[in-house]
Structure formats: C-alpha cells, structure tokens
Structure 1
Amino acid sequence: MAPELVVLLLVMGVVAIPGAGAGARAGSHSYWYFYTGVSDPSLDVPAFTAVGYMDDQKILHYDSETRRQEPCGNWAQGAVGPDFCDNETRSLQGWQQEFGVNLGTLRQCYNQTDESHTLQFMYGFELHEDGSTGGYMQFGSDGEDFISYDLGTRTWIAVPAQAQITQRRWNEDKILFQIARAYLEESCIKWLQKYLQHGKAALLSKPPKTQVSDRPSSQDVLTTLSCRVHCFYPKEVAVVWLKNGEAQPQEMSHSGVIPSGDGTYQTWATININPSSNHDYTCSMEHVSLGEHLQAARDKSMMRE
C-alpha cells in the first residue's frame, strides 16, 4: 500500500467498497488490498481490518486490536524494507481513524439507524498471462457498491443515487485523478513485480498428496470411504470417486477446498459403500501440477466380513 492512498481517503471524505478481491486466473497474477470497518465491533470482528494478498496468498495483515502491520510469511518479509512495517502501521492507524469518521458520515448520508454497518475499500492490480494489465479501486457500504474508479475511461462511476454528488466532485478533482492513476498504472505493478520476485517459491504449483481411509457410516450397514487430498497449490482441484472406473459424482460428498495454514490447500471427498462390496473404488483427482490424473485405490483388505 502506498502512502498516497492514505491521502486519497483523507481527501475523499466519504468512502466505501464492494465485495471480494479478484483471484488470479491460470497464468496470471493479482495483487490487492481489502479494508473493512464496522460500526459495531465484537470479540471476533475488529473495528478495522486491512489485509493484502498476492494471488490467493495473504502477504500483509493489520487490525485495530494489534494496531500493527505485519507481513505474513518469510517470502513477503523479503520483499519489503526494514522500515516498511513501521511506515505501514502509521498509515493504517490513520485509515482506522478515518474509517470511524466515515462510518458516521455514511450513516447520515443514507439516514441509517444505529444498527451495525460496514464500510469497505478494495484496490488492486492484475497482470495477465498475455502481458495485459488491469487495475481497480472500489468503494462500498454494507456490501453494496458505492463508487469505483474505471481505469479505461479514467473516471469515477457512481452506483447508487447517494454517490452521484461524490462522483461529480471527484471527477472534477485533478489531484484525486493523479493519485488514483499513478497508483493503478505505475506503483501497483512495481509492488506486484517485487512480491513476485520474492515469492516465486510460494507461488509454484505443488502436487497433491492423498490418503484413503474407511470408517463405519452413520448408517450401520454401510462404510464411508474418505479420500483426503492435501498439500496442493493452487487451490483449484477436481476430486471424484470412481466405481470400477466410472465416476460417481451423485453418490459422493465433497467438503470444499480449505486452506491448510501453510499456503497450501486440502479437501475431502467421501462415498458410502457396502463394506462387503467387491467393487473397485478409486479416488481420482485432477490438478494443474499433475501431468495426468492422480489416483488412490481403496485397499480391499479393509473389507469387513
């Protein structure tokens, strides 16, 4: 995050943002930040949180409880200078304060009650496989779009009627244009390239490992075969149980793909079978790191009489 963006928030006055950040497509890379402020914080939800991502890997984190910017992972630390965290901490403390002020401003703008409300800001940059680039800077409130910067037309575009006054003011402000344009067209790509240089190992494809096991099903007469697929990156993976070589997607359950906590991902696929069945059951998976489908067969010695 550049210090100029703190200036951007301070000058804007009312700010807000939309949904989730964009992940990188195959062969491309993305670098983005997502800030969230809430009017009614709790033990699990700080008043202000800022996170930075390189592709789907978290590289930076700050929240109003710790009040300090911390890099996530050794490779992220290698990309920044010794004073980076101190400078970022001071900047984000300023963001935290302004978010509190702007939550009150938005409440008046929308004539909101004292219910819990959310203020968000997202910005980032994408480098595509063909060398083309794209940047975005978006604001929203309570999960709804408020206003965004269009890099193609280099104009601010309002979504609700309440944002039209802000849109006109920002489109007439040359300083805001210079800040947004300079960051999205120059600074952002430099940071992305810097993190790519130091994070190559973390962003390399990692092949999945598998483990097949069985356990009694909640239905006494059946056994649940479980296929655990783990230690893979990136997160896109396809897992299916085969019965005598035929896929059984309708018969199986899938846990979804979740982070393992070390930059890799894991998932489970299960299927209920008759424990005395003599059919061949195989867990088959497809991942970008594999030249062909990886398969792990059920051990028939696990059969119960």
Structure 2
Amino acid sequence: MRSMKIILLILVPVAVCENHTGSHALNYYFTGLSSSDSRPPFFSVIGYVDDKQIDRYDSDGGQAQPVAEWMSLFGGPRYWETETKKRQTWVAEYREHFKVEMSISNQTQGLCVYQVLFGCELDADGSSRSYYLFGYQGKEHIRFDKDRMLYEPATERARITTDRWNGERSRQSERDKTCLETICIEWLKKYIRYGKEELEKKIPPEVTVTSLSTRGVTRLHCWVYGFYPRHVDVTWMRNEKDELYSEEAKQILPNSDGTYQVRVTVEVMPQDGDSYACHVDHCGLQNVLVTRWDPVRRSFLYELVGVPVLVLVIIAAGFFMYKKMPLKKNQHGVIFLRGNARGRRDNG
C-alpha cells in the first residue's frame, strides 16, 4: 500500500449521542490523489459507522476489507465480493470526475486532491438526515441538494461542472436521492444491529481540575479523559451563572484504548467570593458532572517560593540522596549500587 498521509479538509458530519438521543451515522469517504510524478493516481474508499472505521478499499490493494472486528463476520465472503465490485464502480466514476476537474483547473503540477463524502444519520426517534459533498484541493466544491434534485456549486469554478451535471444527470440525481434517503439508511440499520455492542457502548468521562497562577492571572485547566463516544461538552462557569470563554481550541484527541480526551483552559483573575467549576456533559453520564476548582488545595510550597526555587529544592534533595547511596566500582570501572540495588557485573 502506498504510504500517503490523507487529510480530509471538507466538512465531516459526525453523529453524536448528544442529549442521549442515540444518533448513528454511516459515512463513506472517497479520496483521490494525483501527483506530478509517473505513478498512477491513488484512490481509497473508507467506511465509517459513527467514529468507528468499519472497512476500507484502495486502488493498490483492489479488495474491500473489514477493519472493525465485528465487520469481519458481517455478510461472509459474498458480501465482501459485492463490496469490492461496488467500490471499483465508485472509483471508476470518481476517476472520471477527477480528470475533468484537473482539466478545468489546468492542474498539471503538484498534488491534486479530490474528495467525496456520502452519508446519512439516523436518530432514535426515526428521523434522518443525509448529505453528498464533493471537495477539490481541500475545499468544498459541490453539494447535492436532494430535495431540489440539484448539484450546487460552492465556488464559481465549480459551476462549470454543476451546469453540466444538472443538464445531463437527471437519472443519476434520482439514483443519488434514493441512495441517500433509502439505501444508506437501510444499511446503517443493519450495521447498528450487527455492531450494537460496540457502537452503543457509553464510557463516562473522568475529570481533573488543575491551575497555575502567574502575576495575578490564574489559568484553570479542566482535563476530561477516558470517555466514549467522542462528543462531549466541557464548559467553565464562574459563580454557577457566567460561562467563561476559552481562547484555546477544544481539541478532542483519541487515546490508544479507543476512548477520548480533551483539555479546556480559561484565564481568570479570581476575586474574593468567586467560585469556578468545570461542567462536563456526556451521554455516558446521568447528569452534568460538576468539578469545582478549590484554590486552597494548591501547594503551599509552590505558592510560597515559586517554580524556580522549588525546582532547585528538588534537585538538591535528589543530589543529597545520591551522595548517601553506597556505591562500588567493578573491575571495568562501572559504578553500581551495593546491597539490593543491582548493577551490571559483566565478566566479559
């Protein structure tokens, strides 16, 4: 498989469990990459249910393959043969789109990126949404309006393509509408039933609040970690009524165990009588989790002497303990600890 880092820059809708609705989404991401070297363009189609990758196909391997463990048993060999043929058909169609867009933009040098997002969302109450987006060179390019059965340009240059599609693809627009409103939802329901245990698990977050004061300004950090699914709402409140704005972007990051973490920081100048608390809302919680900042719990030594002096104290204490340890040299001059602290005693 070709080693390439693919960055999706177009809008990516994600189903969340906000307000305990139990929403789910099925998304397919198509990416085409073409460079100015002699290699043929690279194409991939990746399927996701919620934030879990379920399968993948790329032009190097030429086979649709399961990624999620539960998908490896879904449908059997015949299902994956059908998926392979389907992905090959998609790639063939989008390959032609890609060539046309490169021709229109007269793009002959550098990296060219063509992206497609096709997907749908289903709520617990049965309501649904769907979307069909095209991106070119990292920007939204074309959007399909299934209600009006029209392809809408996001840029003036994209109008060349949408005018042609709207004039020539009446049958295709009907098929696209059917795929979005019917076929996508039917497959999403099947995936939800099959992967229910994995897809509907809810792991509540843990929360830790820390602070750092410098020159009268205090930075309050709210660390939220170990939660699943991904969506979480983290807010700092003052006196339980004033929501505080964080200048840092709330970046929700993945953990190696499949859960997520996020840190939200605000800067405040505490006044007498003020209270601060971090409010966390997640579908794994029955109620909003409120963790209060207690300035009294800050280290007295840290507040008294500050970071530089504290670091010197720690270094001095470590040096004193090192000098007190019984040491011994072996015949090669290698120092090791006596007693229970074992060093290397190589004879060679």
Give unpaired runs (5+ residues) of structure 1: 1-16
Distance (whole Å) between structure 1 residues aligned to residue 241 and residue 69 of structure 2: 44
Q: Which residue of 1 aligns with 2:183?
A: 187
Identity among equivalent positions (%) equals 29
TM-score between both structures, scaled by the size of structure 2: 0.63
**C-alpha displacement at 1:257, in angstroms?**
1.7
Structure 1 residues 279 and 198: alpha-carbon distance in aligned structure 2, compared to 1, 3 A threshold: same
Cα deviation, 1:14-62, whole Å, max 9, x if unaligned, reads: xxx99223222542332111111122399xxx93332222223332234
Selected match of 1:123 from 118, 121, 132: 118
Question: 2:13 aligned with 1:22, yes or no?
Answer: yes
Q: What displacement does 1:208 show?
A: 0.8
1:47 aligns with 42
In the alignment, residue 286 of structure 2 is paired with which amino acid? G
- Which of the numbers 260, 269, 277 marks the counterpart of 1:265? 260
SS in 2 for 1:35: strand
Q: After TM superposition, give the deviation of residue 272 of structure 1 in Å.
A: 7.1
**Matched residue count:** 279
Q: How does the TM-score come out when normalised to structure 1?
A: 0.70
- Report how far residue 191 of structure 1 moved: 0.8
Residues 184 and 238 of structure 1: is their aligned pair in 2 closer, same or farther, counting only changes over 3 Å? closer
Could you say which residue in structure 1 is the equivalent of 2:159? 161
The residue aligned with 1:236 is 231
Q: Secondary structure at the match of 1:134?
A: strand
Q: Does 1:61 align with 2:56?
A: yes
**1:47-196 alignment, distance < 5 Å:** 47-64=42-59, 68-89=63-84, 91-92=86-87, 95-96=90-91, 99-100=94-95, 102-153=97-148, 155-159=149-153, 160-163=158-161, 164-171=163-170, 174=171, 176-177=172-173, 179-196=175-192
Q: 1:52 to 1:169 in 2, by over 3 A?
A: same
List per-residue Cα deviations over 1:73-115 (Å, max 9, x = no partner). 3344454434444543454456556655543332222333424
Q: Residues 232, 117 of structure 1: CA spacing in aligned structure 2 closer, same or farther, 3 A cutoff?
A: same
Aligned mate of 1:197, from 185, 193, 200: 193
Tell me what 1:6 maps to: none
Q: Is the alpha carbon distance of 1:151 and 1:142 closer, same or farther for their aligned partners in structure 2, counting shifts above 3 Å?
A: same
What's the secondary structure of 1:19's corresponding residue?
coil
Q: CA offsets, 1:180-225, max 9 Å, x none?
A: 34423432122100111123333343211123456x77x5998866
Q: Answer yes or no: is 1:304 the counterpart of 2:303.
A: no
Tell me which of the two structures has the higher relative contact order, counting C-alpha pairs closer than 8 angstroms and 6 or more residues apart. Answer: 1
Q: Secondary structure at the match of 2:32?
A: strand
Kindly name which structure, 1 or 2, has the bigger radius of gyration based on alpha carbons: 2
Any idea what SS the aligned residue of 1:126 has? strand
Write the deviation string for residues 150-170 of structure 1: whole angstroms up to 9, x where unpaired: 3323x3324233111232111
